[in-house]
Amino acid sequence: MIRIGTRGSALALWQAHHVRDRLAALGHAAEIVTITTTGDRLQTSRLEAVGGKAAFLKEIEEALLAREVDLAVHSLKDVPVQLPPGLELCAFLERADPRDALVSRSGAALDALPPGARVGTTSLRRRSQLLARRPDLAPADLRGNVDTRLRRLRAGEYDAILLAVAGLERLGAAGEITQVIPAEVLLPAPGQGVITLESRCDDAVVSAAAALLHHQASARSVQAERAFLAGLGGGCNVPLGAFAEASSGGLRLRAYVGREDGSAAVRGEREGRDPGALGRSLADELLGRGAAELLGR
């Protein structure tokens, strides 16, 4: 029996059940173990103040290392580049839509929102690119699971909110989407739309089972994105985006690093066949063109 560790949010549980059902179809019995993380407990603090996105992983990874669970299911965009010693990402599932979605109370698209409209998001990446395009808008912090965020929108706390398309689709809430934002406007986070599986490095049996769910094309894309992230220093708590997709040159990687207020940014793109080399080279390019200063170095 494979014990799957997961957060208890509706989206996290959807992902864990999806993995459990796919493993079961391949003859591997699994059960789900729900774990409350630091990020779940501290809902009123800004994400950066409680450890960034890693706050959603810490207790799950501790349970893996303590052998209380055997496999962890994560949204890859929440997973730092550096993993705790003894753990590895053993599979990347096929990528869902990586783009961001605008959900607005009035039904207005991004460019039609009135000046001063309150747009809810916890993401520095979304905030930075939003203000770069619409400096007249008013981004406002918004924590909580998808249902909570939609409820707060309907209650009038915000004029619009930004969420991941993949999360809304997985929860059967795609009908809430007012506009799918093109990647040219809001470049996705590294790994957005991909579910990844984490296991102990010494657990060959679980790793082999997880490998049956691995999607190589998606893995190549996110390897380039995460190599870019690593090339910038590996931090997740800065406004940056990276998105790779197949091209005639192998992979096309686009990237963004900006200030939180959207007042300055560096963008770039490259093509290449080696995902790791592609990500590192684009990171070096952007660092040389001003990203290092934007990152506070």
CB of 178 within 8 A of CB of 111?
A: no
DSSP-derived letter for residue 27 is T
Strands 71-75 and 2-6 come out as parallel
Structure-block tokens of residue 240? 């940056």
- Distances in Å between the Cα of 106 and the Cα atoms of 5, 154, 178, 275 are 39, 10, 9, 41
Asked about 40 being catalytic, the answer comes back as no
Buried-exposed string 256-289: b where 16+ CB fall within 10 A, e elsewhere: bbbbeebeebbbbebebeebbebbbbbbebbbee
Buried-exposed string 62-71: b where 16+ CB fall within 10 A, e elsewhere: ebbeeeebbb
Q: Could you give the CA distance from residue 96 to residue 196 in angstroms, rounded to a whole number?
A: 12
DSSP 120-158: E---HHHHHHHHHH-TTSEEE---S-HHHHHHHHHTTS-
Which residue among 78, 100, 159, 203 is the active-site one? 78
CB of 199 within 8 A of CB of 90?
A: yes
Q: Tokens 């209380």, residue?
A: 68
Helix (H, G, I), strand (E, B) or coil at 107: coil
Segment holding 285, helix H or strand E: helix 275-286
Q: Please, which residues bridge with residue 247 across strands? A: 250
Active site residues: 78
